[in-house]
């Protein structure tokens, strides 16, 4: 069966979709779209949005719909309980993460920014949606401290390096992409429990971290 997943490497929603293939050991061909390619995704799902799963010429968007589709194939793997404290924690990390992540992703040598036009498109888009990157970078230390505090809180919730609640669950699908995004920010301190989880989940889900790009 021809099966492709269209992604951007920086995209945390794409990481969710990538994870389910890795966790279930199902091979998938990854195709990184240029960030300014509007026509491709619009042709596939009617809007400029990734991830997109292509199966035999049919297209499915929305990360969690892709996760559900692949999880429904053969033996399920996301069988563990969820923890409301993990969801609450994810609600708090979003804003400071987004601020520090965007300007670093925009400057990184990622394949979706392989052309100058694609990188400029991203910067224009995100600065319009958030704040000028120059402004964000000025208050960086405050947000870094906030994130490091939240990571210390998370450490107490990590039950095992193999799965945040001990057994794989949807919480892992939501949590790992956040930790991967954080790995592009220099100065982030992952407490030992969180670091062990981040490393183990990267291997288990077959999604590399961004540590080499940290700035
Ligand atoms: N609800 C969607 C959200 C996906 C999403 O926001 N994708 C971003 C990339 S992280 C996107 O494609 N945005 C359009 C753009 O970057 O131009 C999902 O879960 O798949």
CA of 64 to the centre of ligand 1 (A): 12
Q: Is the CB of 48 under 6 A from ligand 1?
A: yes
Say whether the peptide bond before residue 190 is cis (omega within 30 degrees of 0). no
Q: Is the CB of 11 under 6 A from ligand 1?
A: yes
C-alpha span between 60 and 16 (Å, rounded) = 14
Give the phi and the psi of residue 35 in degrees, each rounded to 5. Answer: -65, -25
Determine whether 200 is exposed, middle or buried from the number of CB atoms within 10 Å of its CB (0-12, 13-18, 19+): middle
Ligand 1: atom nearest CA of 11 is: 10
User: What pTM was computed for the model?
Assistant: 0.97
CA of 11 to the centre of ligand 1 (A): 7
Q: Is the CB of 63 under 6 A from ligand 1?
A: yes
Q: Is the CB of 62 under 6 A from ligand 1?
A: yes
> Which structure tokens are listed for 40?
């491709």
pLDDT of residue 129: 87
Render pLDDT for 101-112 as a digit per residue (tens, 0 to 9). Answer: 999 999 999 999
Query: 13 near 177, Cβ under 8 Å?
Result: yes
Average model confidence (pLDDT) across the chain: 97
Q: If you average pLDDT over residues 120-143, what whole number do you get?
A: 90
CA of 62 to the centre of ligand 1 (A): 8
Say whether the peptide bond before residue 99 is cis (omega within 30 degrees of 0). no
> Which structure tokens are listed for 141?
């230390």
C-alpha span between 145 and 155 (Å, rounded) = 16
Ligand 1: atom nearest CA of 51 is: 20
pLDDT of residue 135: 87
Render pLDDT for 170-186 as a digit per residue (tens, 0 to 9). Answer: 999 999 999 999 999 99
CA of 151 to the centre of ligand 1 (A): 25
pLDDT of residue 110: 98
Q: If you average pLDDT over residues 71-98, what whole number do you get?
A: 97
CA of 128 to the centre of ligand 1 (A): 16
Which is it for the CA torsion 104, 110, 116, 121, positive or negative? negative
pLDDT of residue 137: 85
pLDDT of residue 139: 82
Q: If you average pLDDT over residues 82-104, what whole number do you get?
A: 96
Ligand 1: atom nearest CA of 48 is: 14
In the predicted structure, residue 4 carries a pLDDT above the cut 90: yes
Query: 136 near 185, Cβ under 8 Å?
Result: no
C-alpha span between 10 and 13 (Å, rounded) = 9
Q: Is the CB of 98 under 6 A from ligand 1?
A: no
Give the phi and the psi of residue 50 in degrees, each rounded to 5. Answer: -120, 160
| 136 band by pLDDT with thresholds 50, 70 and 90 | confident
Among candidate residues 152, 156, 173, 140, the one with its CA nearest the CA of residue 71? 173
pLDDT of residue 130: 80
C-alpha span between 154 and 174 (Å, rounded) = 13
In the predicted structure, residue 47 carries a pLDDT above the cut 90: yes
Q: Is the CB of 50 under 6 A from ligand 1?
A: yes
pLDDT of residue 153: 98
pLDDT of residue 33: 98
Ligand 1: atom nearest CA of 66 is: 20
Query: 12 near 52, Cβ under 8 Å?
Result: no
Q: Which residue has its alpha carbon closest to ligand 1 atom 13? A: 49
């Amino acid at each position: 069966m021809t099966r492709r997943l269209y992604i951007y490497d920086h995209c945390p929603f794409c990481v969710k979709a990538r994870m389910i293939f890795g966790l279930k050991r199902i091979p998938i061909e990854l195709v990184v779209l240029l960030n300014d390619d509007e026509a491709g995704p619009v042709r596939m799902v009617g809007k400029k949005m990734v991830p997109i799963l292509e199966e035999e010429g049919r297209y499915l968007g929305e990360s969690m719909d892709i996760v559900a589709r692949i999880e429904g194939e053969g033996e399920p793997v996301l069988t563990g309980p969820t923890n409301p404290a993990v969801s609450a924690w994810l609600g708090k990390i979003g804003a400071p993460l987004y601020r520090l992540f965007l300007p670093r992703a925009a400057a990184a040598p990622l394949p979706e920014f392989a052309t100058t036009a694609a990188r400029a498109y991203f910067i224009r888009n995100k600065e319009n949606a958030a704040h000028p990157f120059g402004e964000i970078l000025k208050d960086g230390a405050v947000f870094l401290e906030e994130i490091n505090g939240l990571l210390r809180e998370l450490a107490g919730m990590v039950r095992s390096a193999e799965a945040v609640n001990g057994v794989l669950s949807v919480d892992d699908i939501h949590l790992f992409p956040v930790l991967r995004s954080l790995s592009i920010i220099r100065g982030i301190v992952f407490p030992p429990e969180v670091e062990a989880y981040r490393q183990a989940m990267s291997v288990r889900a077959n999604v590399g971290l961004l540590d080499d790009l940290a700035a």
